[in-house]
Amino acid sequence: MPIPQLLAPVSSCFCSETPVFEKILNEENYVVDMESFAIDYVAQKFQIPRILIKVPVDQVGEETLAFDRDQALKLLEKNIDWKKIMEKVMK
């Protein structure tokens, strides 16, 4: 199932030496950190709308420190019907 072309051109990515946490007001462009080329490359290759990409930064938030990976995996296994999802994807 193709994703609608919601991708901005490469020139819309802003590159900075330090992570940027707010949008820059030059034209309508939003910013990403210094790995913007890699993020743009992956977004184009897999047709991922950039608005859905969460870019990790140098700070680790409290919610990340408290994240229980094992519990999350158990909940995903228990609550997601992967067979049903794959059947819909294959249609």
pLDDT digits 0-9 by tens, 55-87: 555 566 666 677 788 888 888 888 888 888 888
83: tokens are: 């067979």
pLDDT given at position 18: 46
Ranges of each domain in the chain? 10-90
Q: Does residue 43 have a pLDDT over 50? A: yes
Tokens representing 26? 């030059």
The one-letter amino acid code at 33 reads D
Q: How far is CA 15 from CA 2, 57, 61, 88, 89, in A?
A: 28, 14, 23, 38, 35
DSSP per position, 33-67:
-TTHHHHHHHHHHTT--GGGPPPP-S---HHHHT-
**pLDDT > 70 fraction of the chain, expressed in percent and rounded:** 41
Check: pTM over 0.75? Answer yes or no.
Answer: no
